[in-house]
Structure 1
Amino acid sequence: MVAVLSIFGVSHVALLSVYANDRLGDIRWFAWIVAATGLGALAGALVTGTRRSSMRGAAFRMGVYGALLAGFALTDEPWLAMAAQVLIGYFYFAVMTELQTLLQELVDEPLRGRVMSLFQVAWAGLIPFGSLGMGAAAAAFGVTKTLVCAGGVCAAYGFAMALRPPR
Structure 2
Amino acid sequence: MSIKTVCTFLLLLMAGFAQAAEVHINQFILKENPFAKDEVAIVATDSAGTIQENINGLFNFTINGFQEELKFENGTAFYHHKLDKSSFLYLKHKDDFSSHANLFYIFKHDSKLDPYKISWKVLVAVPLILVLLGYMFKRFIIIAIVIFCVFSYFNYHGGMSLGTFFETIFDGLKHVF
Q: TM-score, normalised by structure 1?
A: 0.24
Whichever structure has more helix as a proportion of its residues is 1
Greater Cα radius of gyration, structure 1 or 2: 2
Bigger relative contact order, structure 1 or 2, given CA contacts below 8 A and separation 6+? 1
